[in-house]
Structure 1
Amino acid sequence: MPPSVFLLPSRYLLLERYRRTCNIYARSKRDSTLAEHALMVFPAPAGVLDRAATLDSIQSGSRWVHANFEKRELLRPTDRVALLVYSATASRHEGVAYRALCSSTYVKQGDAWLLALHHQTPQ
């Protein structure tokens, strides 16, 4: 998901690429966008997933067919860290809407932005 260049003020670009990463990219591409010790925090029953469990989940789970991000905020505590906070509304093929408050933390390693932590709280 992370862009090779983090463009400001386009905080929406990072979210849109995140959405496309979860839905489209091959596992090898997703694998290269997660930090080595990445964690995902989801509601039960998923709970906290480490990097390997996250990749397995992406590979085996059904994907979002629609996602909309609102109330987007960007915090840049350093030039190598980007924290995104946003509300998300998404649906799968079944059409049931899912709403959550989310935060995603990216770290810059070399020229790449890697997802280090993602958290979702259902609304």
Structure 2
Amino acid sequence: MDDDRVWAFEESLWTADAEHYRESIDDECVMVVPAPPFVMTGAQAVEAVANTPRWSKVAFSDQQIMRPQEGLIVIGYTVDAEKDGGEKYEAHCTSTYRRLEHEVWKVVQHQQTPPLKMGG
């Protein structure tokens, strides 16, 4: 998967409908997010997303792509996301994809860490 396709795929995980998300997340996926239940499996993450409004706009920065072996892609980035109605979200994220067959990739790991808020 070339770099442009990687970023388009990752963006779709933030913005596309629940069915696309279900098709893209591996059953063996592990996710860590900054809200309860914090650590989820693929099925739990799909269920959580099915009941959550999707983000309407996302922008990535600090983008990194690594390919440690054939059929495995690891990415890191910062996301700025916004929902219709003005809710905003920022996090530092990682995702790992594995290739199941030609042109078929699934997410096997995803993590989100919001930026630290420094007290003043």
Shorter-chain TM-score range: 0.7 to 0.9
Identity %: 24
> Is structure 2 residue 42 aligned with structure 1 residue 51?
yes
> Is structure 2 residue 102 aligned with structure 1 residue 107?
no
Q: Per chain length, whose mean CA-contact separation is higher, i.e. which structure has more relative contact order (CA < 8 Å, sep 6+)?
A: 1
Aligned length: 114
Q: Which residue of 2 aligns with 1:116?
A: 108
Task: Give unpaired runs (5+ residues) of structure 2.
Answer: 116-120
Residue 70 to residue 104, structure 1, CA distance change in 2 (3 Å): same
Q: Give the TM-score normalised by the residue count of structure 1.
A: 0.83
> Following superposition, which runs of at least 4 residues in structure 1 exceed 6 angstroms of deviation?
none
Superposed, which structure 2 residues align to 1:69-84 within 5 Å? 69-84=60-75
Structure 2 residue corresponding to 1:93, chosen from 84, 89, 95? 84
Q: Which residue of 2 aligns with 1:16?
A: 8
Q: Give the TM-score normalised by the residue count of structure 2.
A: 0.85
What's the offset of the Cα at 1:22? 3.6
Task: Give unpaired runs (5+ residues) of structure 1.
Answer: 1-5
Superposed, which structure 2 residues align to 1:5-44 within 5 Å? 6-7=1-2, 10=3, 12-27=4-19, 29-44=20-35
What's the offset of the Cα at 1:108? 0.9
Letter in 2 for 1:90: A
Tell me the distance in 1 between the aligned counterparts of 2:18 and 2:33: 22
Tell me the distance in 2 between the aligned counterparts of 1:102 and 1:17: 14
Contact 2:27 2:43 in 1 (8 A): no
